[in-house]
Structure 1
C-alpha cells in the first residue's frame, strides 16, 4: 500500500493551517508582554517555533509508525501518565501557576501531564474496548473497570485542581464507551449520580463559585471574577466583521489575561474579526469531521476506536476553549489546540493527527 497516496491530505493541510495561525497569533498576542517581562519580544515566538518543529517531527514519525503498534504501549503509557499526575502532588516537583499545580519543570521546558493523560486514556480505551468486544456490555467485566480507571484520573486531575481537563477526560471517555456499546442502563445513573458531586465541586470552592457567578453575570464583579470574560467579550466586539488588523489589537495589552494561551481566540476575534473566527472554527470542524470519516472508513476495530477517540479529543478541546472565550461556558483554563502557546498541548495534538494520518493510510480507497 502506498502511504503517500493514501494519507488524508485534507486533514494534514488543515492541521498545518491551524498551527501556522497559532504561531502568528502567539507572537501577536505575546510580543509586548514578553518584551515587558523578559526583555525580548520574540521570547514566546521562539519557544513556540521550537515546539512546532518538534511537533511536526513527531507528526511525521507517527504518520509512518503503524498505528497497530500503539496497542503494545496502551497500558504502560497510561500508567506512566498517571504516575506523572501523582508526581504533581509531591511538594517541590510541581510548578504552581495561578493557584494550580499542573506542570513539571524539566531542563528548558515544562511538562503538563494532563495533556498526556488525555492522549493515553484514548489509547487505552481504544485498546481495551477492542479486546473486550461484547464484554463491554457487562457491568462487572466491562463498565466498572473503566469507571475505576476514570475515577483515579479524575481525582488526580481535581487535586491540581484542573476541572476543565477533568470534564474533557470524562466527556471523551463516556462518548467512547457509548459508541462501543456500553448500556445506557449503566451510563445514565453514572451521569445522574455525578451531578451532585459536580455541584459540590463547583459551589464548595470559593474561586469556582465566583467563576460560575461571573459566567451568569460578569458585570456584578467587573474588576475581579468577571474581568476575564468582560475583556474577552470586548475583544470580540471591537473586532467586528473584519477585525482591527493583525497586531493592532489592544485587549492583549494587559487587559486580557493569558492572551497567548487561554484567551488567544479572543485576540483572533479582535484582530481578525468575525471572518477570522469563522475560518478558525471551520478549520476545526472540518478537521474533526475528517477524523470521524477516517474512523468510519476503518475496517479494523482498534483503528476505528482510536480515530474516533482522538477526533473527539481535538473537537472537545477546541469547542470548550472557544465557548469559554465567547462567554458560553465558565472559565476553564484550557488551551486552544494547535493555536495556544504551550509545548505539551501542541506536540500531543500533532501526535494525534499523525496517528490519524497513519490510520487513514491503511484504508484502501478507489482510484
Structure 2
C-alpha cells in the first residue's frame, strides 16, 4: 500500500497537479462577512456550459424514457397512459428553475443556513423513522404532501454535503487531528446513516458514508484513520447484510439471478434480459417488451434496462458518457474553485450524482446487489429529481469565475468570455508562483 501511495504521489508531483483538494494553493479570499450580503468575490462569468447542457439533456431524456417505460403500466393501473409522463414533466418544469436559481445565488450565502437545513432534514428523517412516513415496497421512506411524496433520505445527502463543506472549510490544519477533524463528522454521518437504515434504506446510508469519507480525504485528513473507518464500516455493512434475511436474499439473487428468477432474482434477471434484447442499437423507442409487465418498476430504479433494450449498447454507452462527463467536469470545478468551501461542495455534489448513477447502472446490469438508488435526472420520481437539480445548481454555481481570479480576468480580456483556464495550483498567489 505504501508503494502504491508513493507512486501516485510521484505521478502527481511530476505532472504538477495536487493529489487532494486540500493541497491546492488558493488566492486569498475575504473572511466570512457578518451579514448575509457582501464580503465574498462576486461572480463575473457564466456557469460551466458543458455541465448545464448535459443536465438539461438528461432531464429531457428522462421525461421521454419515463413515458416510454411507464405508458403500458399506467394504462393498466390508472387507466391513463400519460399518468407518469404528466407528473414527471411537472417535476422537470419545477426542477429547471430550481437549478437555475440555485446556480445564480452566491453559494456562500448557504453557509449561515447550514445548520437550519441539517436540522430540518434530521427532523424529517426522525419523522419517517418513527413510522409516520408513507410505506411502499416494504419500506417507509416517504412523506406524503398531497398527491406527491417527498423522500427525506434524498435531501439528507445534500444536507450532509452542505454541512461537511461548511465544517471542513473552517478546520484547515485541525482536519489532521482525529478529535477535531474526523470524529465530529463520523458522529453526524453515523446518526444520519442510522436514521436511513431505520426506514430501511441501506443504499442511502452507504451513500452518506461514502460521501463523508471522500470529502474527509479531499480535505486532507490523515489516510490511516480514514482507512480504518472504511474497513470498520465495511465490516459493519457485512454484519447488517448477514443479519437481515431480505438483504441476504438480494445477495443470493445477485450471485445467481437466474437461479432465483422465481423470487428475489426476478427483477435483476428480467433487467439483464432487457439489456441483452437491445443488442447494438436497440429495438426502438417505445418497442420494449420487458416493460409489458415483465420488469417491475421499469420507470423507476430499472429505467436503464428499458434504455438498454430500446436504444441498445449505443444508447447505454452515450448515457454512461454523459455521467462520466459530469464527474470529470465536477472534479475540474472543484480544483478551480475560489475557496475550500466551494471545492468541497463541488466534490460532494459530483460524488453524489456520479456514485448514484453508476450504482444504479451496475445494479440494473447485475454487477452489484440491488440498491434502492435512482438514475439521476432520468428515473421517475419528483423528490429525487428536485434534489438532484438543486445539487447540480450548486455545482454550476461554484463553476462560475469570480472577482480576484486573475486567470479568469485575463481570459475574459482575450476572449470576451470570463471563465477560468487553469487549475488553482497554477495561479499566481500573493505575487509569487503557485
TM-score (norm 1): 0.97
- 1:300 equivalent in alignment to 2:339: yes
Tell me which residue corresponds to 1:14. Answer: 54
Distance 1:90 1:192 in 2: 30
Structure 1 residue aligned with 2:128: 88
- Partner of 2:143, secondary structure, is strand
Cα 1:36–1:4 shift into 2, 3 Å: farther
Q: Distance in 2 between matches of 1:158 and 1:69?
A: 32
Go from structure 1 to structure 2 and tell me whether the alpha carbon gap of 1:214 and 1:45 turns closer, same or farther (over 3 Å shift).
same
Partner of 1:72: 112
Which residue of the other structure, out of 283, 286, 311, is the alignment partner of 1:244? Answer: 283
**Which of residues 341, 352, 360 in structure 1 aligns to 2:391?**
352
Aligned-partner Cα distance in 1 for 2:229–2:395: 30
Decide which of 270, 274, 278 is 2:317's aligned counterpart.
278
Is 1:46 paired with 2:86?
A: yes
Matched residue, 2:171: 132
Superposed, which structure 2 residues align to 1:91-240 within 5 Å?
A: 91=131, 93-240=132-279
Q: Which of 77, 83, 87 pairs up with 1:37?
A: 77
What is the aligned partner in structure 2 of residue 323 from structure 1? 362
Offset of 1:4 from its aligned partner?
8.3
Distance in 2 (CA, whole Å) between partners of 1:277 and 1:169 is 27
Aligned to 1:334: 373
Q: SS in structure 2 opposite 1:104?
A: strand
Q: Does the CA-based 8 Å contact 2:175-2:219 persist in structure 1? A: yes
Higher mean alpha-carbon deviation, 183-192 vs 49-58, is at: 183-192
CA distance in 1, matches of 2:258, 2:106: 53
Deviates more, 1:191-200 or 1:160-169: 191-200
Match of 2:258, SS state, is: helix
Mapped to 2, the partners of 1:226 and 1:172 lie a distance apart of 29
Q: State the distance in 1 between where 2:258 and 2:383 align.
A: 35
- The aligned length equals 366
Give the Cα separation in 2 of the matches to 1:62 and 1:19: 17
Task: Give me the whole-angstrom Cα distance separating, in 1, the residues matched to 2:349 and 2:391.
Answer: 6
Post-superposition offset of 1:150: 0.6
Q: Deviations over 1:74-97 (max 9, x none)?
A: 121111111100001234x21111
1:287 aligns with 2:326: yes
More helix by share: 1
Counterpart residue number, 2:98:
58
Q: How far apart are residue 3 of structure 1 and its match? A: 6.0
Q: Partners in 2 of 1:304 and 1:219 — Cα distance?
A: 44
Q: How far, CA to CA, are the matches of 2:129 and 2:357 in structure 1? A: 28
| Separation in 2, partners of 1:361, 1:194 | 36
Change in CA separation of 1:152 and 1:325 when aligned onto 2, cut-off 3 Å = same
* Displacement after TM superposition at 1:70 (Å): 1.1
The Cα of 1:287 is off from its aligned counterpart by 1.3
Q: CA deviation at 1:37?
A: 0.6
Q: Which runs of 5+ in 2 are unaligned?
A: 1-40, 416-434
The CA RMSD measured in Å over matched residues stands at: 1.4
C-alpha distance 325-4 of structure 1, shift in aligned 2 (>3 A):
farther
